[in-house]
Amino acid sequence: MAAEKTLEDLFHDTLKDIYYAEKQILKTLPKMAKAAQSAELKAGFEQHAEETEGQVERLEQIFELLGKPARGKTCDAILGIIEEGKEIMTEYKGTAALDAGLVAAAQAVEHYEIARYGTLKTWASQLGMQDAVKLIDETLAQEVATDKKLTQVAESSANQKAAA
C-alpha cells in the first residue's frame, strides 16, 4: 500500500516547485529587461527582478517554518513558459512586435505564479500556518501588481506599436 500523503506533503512539494520556478525567473528577468525596447518595460522587468530576490527569501523563510531545507524541485511548466519567452526574444528581435510579445510571455509567468501562490496561501491557511499565509500574501500582491502593470504597458503602448 502506498504511504499516506497529506496536505502538508502537497504544500511542501508545491513550495519546492515554486522555489525552483522563482530561481529560474530570477535568471530570466535580466534577459527580458535587456531585450525590451521601451524604457518603461525595461524598468518594469528590472524592478520585478529585485522583487523576485525578496520572494526567494520569503520562500526560504517558509521552508524554515516547515522545518525543512530550502530545496527546489524541477518545474517543467516554468521551463516551458520561459522557453516560449526565449522564442519571442529570438524570433521577434528588432521588430515592432517585440515588446507586445515580451509582455505576453511575462504575463504567462505571472499567471503561473499567481496560480501557485493562490493555492499555497489557501493550503497554509488550512494548515494553520498564519506566518506562512502572510509571507505568501506579500509575494502574491507583487505578482498581481506586476501582471496589472504589464497589462497597462500592453494597452497603453506596446500593442499599438506592434499593430502599426
Q: CA-CA distance, 152 to 140, in Å (whole number)?
A: 19
Nearest residue to the partner Fe ion, using Cβ: 75
The single residue among 62, 75, 120, 153 that binds Fe ion, judged by CB under 5 A, is 75
Q: Does 143 bind Fe ion (CB under 5 A)?
A: yes
Rule CB under 5 A: is residue 55 a binding residue for Fe ion?
A: yes
28 touching Fe ion, by CB under 5 A = no
Shortest distance, position 67 Cβ to Fe ion, whole Å: 23
Cβ nearer to Fe ion, comparing 62 with 75: 75
CA atoms of 145 and 127, how far apart (whole Å) = 27
Interface residues with Fe ion (CB under 5 A)? 17, 52, 55, 75, 77, 113, 143
